[in-house]
């Protein structure tokens, strides 16, 4: 491209043309911008949700790794928390209804450390008799508040009987994953019958599968949270897989919209193109100019769409928390508290794919175009 053609391309891209010209040139790619924003939001939202589910399966479930005997401390990575627990089943009877629950017997320090940073617990002023902690979704279904008393019929498997207990709601934690915590009750470990297990909660960034492998090599049977809750985790992975397919689809749509935009720019500049030809600029150079113009605007539209999608995704936790507080049933199968993750690698790959496919599409369209003299 000679200096004149390069100057012409810069002017057509918007140099010294003003914002109104820039917007009018971007208008043929407005739908592409919206599609890119939607996919960028979806990528960020699903990946954030996936990492949030990973974290909550460990915190609300049975730890990052569950074992049946206390391990040698040298096997545990730095920052890992290990807690003894027992699990049982029970029926709760309150004034406004009853509910089947899973009772997890825990020690005094179980809800400290990493769990304390995740769970927002509202405690009553005093523990009361047989203190238990329930989720806000369970408390809402039974109209419970901190300090209330209710009856619990706790099943004792070893004795083959149900034991009635009077318990006090010592605390209520904000429900963050109703599918896991809607029927979960924390109780003192000495109330729950049955064998103990040990939950190992790993700090962020530690791989549970690596620890599982190390424990098995030391003769300690272990199971990671992804294995324990494989169906829940698989649902999230399938959602991410669908998004990978959508990236390919958006790249194909980029080819369509970029070709349409190139046609628009050529029709708009028909008189200018004839003037370039009179100045001795060849057809190949004109094709290069309009490839540069079109692909530049495709890149701008894609980047603006990504920024818009990221902004919307950053607001999604607050929006979901608000909706879940108004209509909790809508989010029974979704987490309502998570940190937004910006998938930089996936977004960059999507941008590169769109630009690459658009470049090929525009080049082929320009070569075949009868609008170019």
pLDDT, tens only, 309-347: 999 988 887 777 777 666 655 555 566 667 788 888 888
Residues 316 and 338: their CA atoms lie apart, in Å, by: 9
Confidence (pLDDT) at 198: 92
pLDDT, tens only, 187-203: 999 899 888 899 999 88
pLDDT grade for 226, boundaries at 50, 70 and 90: confident
User: Is residue 158's pLDDT more than 90?
Assistant: no
* Residue from 285, 313, 324, 284 nearest 44 by CA: 313
Residues 58 and 206: their CA atoms lie apart, in Å, by: 12
Backbone angle region of 70, left / alpha / beta, with phi > 0 → left and psi within -120 to 50 → alpha: beta
pLDDT, tens only, 273-311: 777 777 777 777 777 777 888 888 888 888 999 999 999
DSSP state of 176: S
* Residue 179: CB atoms within 10 Å: 17
As a 3-state breakdown, the chain gives helix, strand, coil percent values, each rounded to 5, of 55, 20, 25
- DSSP-derived 3-state class of residue 175: coil
Confidence (pLDDT) at 185: 92
Question: Mean pLDDT across the stretch 43-51?
Answer: 82
**What percentage of the chain has pLDDT greater than the value 70?**
87
Tokens for 201, please give them. 């909660």
Confidence (pLDDT) at 127: 79
* Residue from 18, 8, 43, 73 nearest 278 by CA: 8
Strands 65-67 and 222-224: antiparallel
In whole numbers, what is the pLDDT of the chain averaged over residues? 82
DSSP state of 221: -
| pTM metric for this prediction | 0.72
Residues 2 and 139: their CA atoms lie apart, in Å, by: 73
């Amino acid at each position: 491209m000679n200096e004149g053609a390069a100057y012409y391309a810069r002017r057509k891209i918007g140099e010294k043309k003003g914002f109104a010209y820039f917007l009018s040139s971007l208008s043929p790619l407005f739908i592409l911008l919206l599609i890119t924003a939607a996919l960028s939001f979806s990528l960020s939202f699903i990946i954030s949700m996936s990492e949030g589910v990973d974290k909550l399966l460990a915190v609300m479930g049975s730890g990052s790794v569950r074992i049946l005997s206390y391990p040698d401390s040298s096997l545990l990575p730095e920052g890992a928390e290990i807690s003894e627990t027992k699990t049982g089943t029970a029926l709760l009877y309150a004034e406004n209804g009853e509910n089947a629950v899973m009772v997890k017997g825990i020690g005094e320090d179980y809800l400290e450390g990493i769990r304390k940073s995740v769970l927002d617990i509202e405690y009553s002023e005093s523990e009361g008799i047989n203190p238990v902690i329930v989720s806000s979704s369970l408390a809402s279904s039974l109209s419970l508040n901190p300090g209330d008393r209710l009856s619990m019929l706790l099943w004792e498997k070893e004795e083959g009987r149900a034991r009635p207990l009077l318990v006090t709601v010592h605390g209520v934690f904000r429900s963050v994953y109703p599918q896991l915590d809607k029927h979960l009750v924390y109780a003192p470990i000495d109330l729950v019958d049955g064998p103990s297990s040990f939950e190992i909660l790993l700090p962020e960034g530690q791989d549970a599968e690596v620890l599982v492998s190390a424990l098995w090599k030391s003769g300690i049977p272990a199971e990671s949270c992804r294995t324990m809750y494989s169906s829940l985790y698989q649902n999230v992975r399938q959602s991410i897989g669908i998004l990978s397919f959508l990236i390919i689809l958006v790249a194909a749509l980029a080819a369509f919209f970029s070709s349409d935009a190139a046609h628009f720019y050529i029709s708009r500049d028909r008189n200018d193109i004839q003037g370039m030809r009179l100045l001795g600029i060849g057809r190949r150079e004109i094709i290069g100019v309009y490839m540069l113009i079109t692909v530049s605007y495709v890149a701008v539209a894609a980047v603006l769409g990504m920024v818009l999608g990221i902004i919307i995704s950053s607001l999604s936790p607050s929006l979901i928390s608000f909706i879940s507080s108004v209509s909790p049933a809508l989010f029974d199968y979704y987490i309502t508290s998570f940190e937004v993750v910006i998938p930089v690698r996936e977004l960059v790959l999507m941008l590169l794919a769109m630009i690459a496919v658009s470049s090929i599409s525009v080049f082929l369209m320009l070569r075949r175009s009868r609008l170019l003299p």
